[in-house]
Every structure is written in C-alpha cells, then in structure tokens.
Amino acid sequence: MSSSILRLFSVGVLAAGALAIPTNKTATKVVTSSKPAYPAPWASSIVSGLATIADTPTTKKATSQAKYEAKTALATTTMTSAQIQSYLPYTHLAASAYCASNIISTWTCGQHCTAMPGMIVYATGGDNEDVPDWYVGYLPSLASAVVVHQGTTPSAIESDLVRRYPFLKGPMTKLDPTSHQVDADFFFTSLNPTYFPGVPSSVEIHSGFVDAHDTAAPAILAAIESIMTAHGVKQVTCIGHSLGGAIAILDAMSLKATLPATTTFKVVTFGQPRVGNQAFADYVDANFSDNSRITHNEDIVPIVPGMFLGFVHSSGEKHIDPSTTWWACSGQDNEADPQCSTGEVPEIWDGNTADHTGPYVNGIVMGC
C-alpha cells in the first residue's frame, strides 16, 4: 500500500482526540471510563504543535454541553434482523473488491461471487497504490449498475499510525510499527466541475480522496453508461470499505451530477472516514436519501480526520456495537450517543483498528 493512500488516514489522527469532547450521558446509556476527559499531559506537547487547536478546555466543555443538549432529542433506534439482512448483498460486494482483478472480471472470486450470482463485470481498474482497486458491473438481482471500491487494510493503517505517533502503541496496537514514509499534509479542495458539474463550490473534500476519485472517474462513468444502455437500468449502487467508502460517496455525487435526472442512487459504505466539510455533509443529506454508512464497534477510521479540522460525516450511520446490536443513528456526527461511532470512540486512544474489517453482516469480514 503506497504512502499516498496511508497518509489519508494519518491526517488529523491526533486531532481526533479533540473531535468529540466527552459529554454527560443519559441515565439509560451510562458509559464509565478511567481515561482522562481531555488529552493526557504526555500528549499535550504534540497536540499543542497543531496550530489549528485554539479551544481551551473551558471552551471545549461549553461546546460539548451545547452539542449534547442539541442532540439528546435525536432518536437512535435498534435495527431489526430483516433490516440488518438487507445489507448482506452489499457486504459481500464490498468484501469482493479485495479480490484480484482477474477473478473479479470472470466473477470467480469464491464465496462473495457465489453469494451474488449473475454479475456481469464491465470494467475493473485501480493499481492498489494511488488508486484502490475497483470494478463496475451489472447485477440482475439488484436491477442495478454497481461500482465497488477496495479499501485499506487495518494493518497498514495501524503500522502507519504507530510509526508517526509512537505513544499510541500501548493502548491501540500489537503490530510492529513498520510502515512507509508518509507525509501528514492535508487540505480541503473544491471539486472539479468536469466530474461534478453543478455541485456548489462551497463543498470541499479532502484532496487525497478527490485525487483517487478523479483518476478513475472517466472509466467508471463510461462503464455505467454502457450498463444503463445495455440493460435499461436506472439505478446505480455505490459501495466501498474504508478509503473505498470515501471514493464511493464521491462516485455517487459525480454520477448524479452527470447521468440523467431519472437515475436513482443507493450508497452503502463500511468503515468510511470523514470525507469533506459541513457543506459536503449537508449536500449529501439533501441529495441522497438512500445512503447508509455502516460502522463497526471501536473502529478508529470513521473518526478521522478530526471534526475540529472542519471534517463532518453525512447522515445515515448504522453502528454495530460490542454486543453486535445494530443501531440506526440520527443526524451527522452523533457525539452525544455512545451507541454511535463518534460517541463510542470519542478519542483515538478509545479506538481499535482491529474492528475496521468487521465482522459486519453474518460475520463477514472485509477481504477476499
């Protein structure tokens, strides 16, 4: 895995310590912890090195209380078995993206391909380096064109985080801290109107995600158009795990801005990091009613890059807690509720990268 992909997950990881300030919990959802309310003294020198951190603890506490009061009215509900099982096809498809392109092209990838018979693959791409592997196909059982993106392995994320921030080794990881040399540079960028015509300029995205998307965008669009012409379908389903989830939501935005207005979209992502700013999150909420962002237990990836850096999740989270109960979370980043990802993993040292690959539906773990 290349350094350019790994850096997307090292960006703002320290900031995650301030991205969801601990709040008072409701009487029915008590969470106790021996961890400090704010980054411990051993982290203060690192945190203070980030010039964008300006809030004092008093300001943070006041902000936290305001957010808590605003969000306690949001409904977080448990999901039924039938609702959970409805995500089984998309879990198989997301996992299949980790298979080699030659067996994806012939749809002979083993359990995931067997579980989703009839797939006609139109295009594959990616280099598993700067652009994660992807494929586009037509699946009769869903009556949909599908575009699926591979993600990043937890071992790659974990080793990179430990190399850059050795103090994380104790609470977070058991892996050797060997990784590629990376840069922690990051910035927002506007979307290319060639691929996102009509999307407001206020929508800004992590530049690395945009680069990965735009490289593959022309080939993906051509394959989708071929499927729509050949099979008369009007639905496009965008799927991805991890970094692939970030690219999948960008696919949906780009294709919606390009394809006929009668096209409908379904987006399902697993372990997706934050992708863009508040305008991005609001745009997704306004334009994609069928958008599910599935998070698992204490996975660290969904809480980076940090919110105080300006990154915000769109709505639609479905969170799997340690007891394997699924929760439908309301709102965007639901900090107030420990049954949702940002509430369960308020700081990076609360996370566990081993949770990044699942298991998701029916015990499926991401991987070929």
- The whole-angstrom separation of Cα 142 and Cα 122 is 16
More confident residue, 29 or 211: 211
Confidence category of residue 124, pLDDT binned at 50, 70, 90: very high
Query: What tokens appear for 82 in the block?
Result: 């039938």
Q: Region 79-103: what's the mean pLDDT?
A: 97
pLDDT at 180 over 70: no
pTM: 0.77
CB 64 within 8 A of CB 208: no
Query: What tokens appear for 217 in the block?
Result: 């965008």
User: Would you state the pLDDT for residue 350?
Assistant: 84
23-54: pLDDT as tens digits:
322 222 222 223 222 222 222 222 222 222 22
Confidence category of residue 334, pLDDT binned at 50, 70, 90: confident
3 state SS of 224: helix
The DSSP secondary-structure symbol of 230 reads: H
Least confident of 34-43, 60-69, 200-209: 34-43
More confident residue, 164 or 18: 164
| Residue pointed to by tokens 């060997």 | 178
335-346: pLDDT as tens digits:
878 889 988 888
Helices and strands counted in the chain (H then E): 14, 11
Q: Region 94-100: what's the mean pLDDT?
A: 96
Q: Is cis: bond before 273, omega within 30 of 0?
A: no
- Bridge partner residues of 124 (DSSP): 135
- The whole-angstrom separation of Cα 160 and Cα 168 is 11
Average pLDDT, the chain: 77
Nearest-10 Cα torsion for 220, 222, 225, 231 = -80
Q: H/E/C letters for each residue in 113-124?
A: HHHCCCCEEEEE
